[in-house]
Amino acid sequence: MEENERNIALLERQLKDLISQADQILSGNNSADRIETFSKYSEELKLFVYKKIEIPKLKERSQRIEKIKFSRNELKLWHYVTFSFWIVLLIQYIATQKSIE
């Protein structure tokens, strides 16, 4: 029983940390790193509950928490091509405007 009590104390501390992270994200401190860390930490917490906590209702409730689907926005090749295209158009437009004057 002492092992379970220790695990519940660890869970309470981890939940406080997770709530603190969520509050920071919701208050505007929502960098990609912070969201990614929050996502990983919440999945680790669910795994901890599943493996270490012996309360069936708590296990069930933790497994119902949806996984956070977060991926960083990475620049793809087509982003560079499209951006380059618009830059070329802008340069042509500026050149045309100068030649009109």
Q: Is residue 23 part of a domain?
A: yes
Q: Is residue 93 part of a domain?
A: no
Q: Is residue 34 part of a domain?
A: yes
pLDDT score of 1 more than 70 = no
Q: Is residue 21 part of a domain?
A: yes
DSSP annotation string for the chain? -HHHHHHHHHHHHHHHHHHHHHHHHHTT---HHHHHHHHHHHHHHHHHHHHH---HHHHHHHHTSPPP--------HHHHHHHHHHHHHHHHHHHHHHHH-
Domains of the chain: total: 1
Q: Is residue 7 part of a domain?
A: yes
pTM higher than the cut 0.75: no
Q: What is the pLDDT of residues 9-23, one digit of tens each?
A: 888 888 888 888 888
Q: Is residue 32 part of a domain?
A: yes
Q: Is residue 90 part of a domain?
A: no
pLDDT score of 92 more than 70 = yes
What is the residue range of 26's domain?
2-72
Q: What is the pLDDT of residues 38-62, one digit of tens each?
A: 888 888 888 888 888 888 888 888 8
